[in-house]
């Protein structure tokens, strides 16, 4: 069984309800999970007047990373059929976003899946929940823990 961490975010509509629906769907798909506290943050990588709510979630699966991603993307589509990208590929407001952050200590570099998430070290809204749920985890390429990456953000 692989330990997977995901980050769930929402900045449109009833953000808490959107996240709750995603958590419920992940629970139905993957079973038991651990969840972090909610983190509120400004949008990252684009301008918007809508702040995000984010939570981290960990669960175990015997599925491979690509099948895990496919099922998570189906959950996203079930909550909101809208894309969270602009026509030019930039970030946009979204009702729900589920990102795979870690998959055990695997390094995956595929066009549609990169793990550990490549922008994790720059995002406090990802690192804070990850530090709460998996403080012992070390980035397989840098050797840093989530807390150490958070400290680097402050420098």
How many domains does the chain fold into? 1
Q: Which residue has the tokens 């960990």?
A: 58
pLDDT at 87: 53
For residue 110, the domain's CATH number is: 3.30.70.560
Nearest CA-CA partner of 57 in 84, 75, 77 = 75
The span from the CA of 4 to the CA of 11, in Å, is 23
The span from the CA of 36 to the CA of 142, in Å, is 24
The span from the CA of 48 to the CA of 58, in Å, is 28
Question: How much is the pTM?
Answer: 0.91
The span from the CA of 88 to the CA of 139, in Å, is 31
At 103 the three-state DSSP class reads strand
Nearest CA-CA partner of 150 in 41, 134, 140, 130 = 130
pLDDT at 90: 60
Where the chain has pLDDT below 70, the residues are 45-46, 81-92, 155
Range of the domain at 13: 2-153
pLDDT at 42: 84
13: its two tokens: 């509509």
Decide: 5 and 102 in contact? Cβ < 8 Å: yes
Decide: 59 and 30 in contact? Cβ < 8 Å: yes
Angle at which helix 65-79 crosses helix 15-30, to 10 degrees, equals 140
The span from the CA of 47 to the CA of 138, in Å, is 31
The span from the CA of 10 to the CA of 52, in Å, is 5
């Amino acid at each position: 069984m692989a330990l997977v961490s995901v980050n769930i975010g929402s900045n449109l509509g009833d953000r808490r309800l959107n996240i709750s629906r995603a958590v419920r769907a992940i629970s139905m798909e993957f079973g038991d999970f651990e969840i972090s506290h909610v983190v509120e943050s400004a949008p990252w990588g684009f301008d918007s007047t809508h702040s995000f709510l984010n939570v981290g979630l960990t669960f175990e699966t015997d599925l491979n990373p690509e099948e895990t991603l496919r099922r998570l993307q189906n959950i996203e589509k079930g909550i909101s059929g809208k894309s969270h990208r602009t026509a030019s590929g930039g970030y946009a407001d979204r009702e729900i976003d589920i990102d795979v952050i870690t998959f055990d200590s695997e390094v995956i570099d595929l066009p549609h899946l990169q793990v550990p998430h490549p922008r994790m070290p720059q995002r406090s809204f990802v690192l804070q929940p990850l530090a709460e749920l998996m403080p012992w985890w070390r980035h397989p390429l840098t050797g840093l823990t989530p807390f150490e990456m958070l400290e680097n953000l402050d420098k």
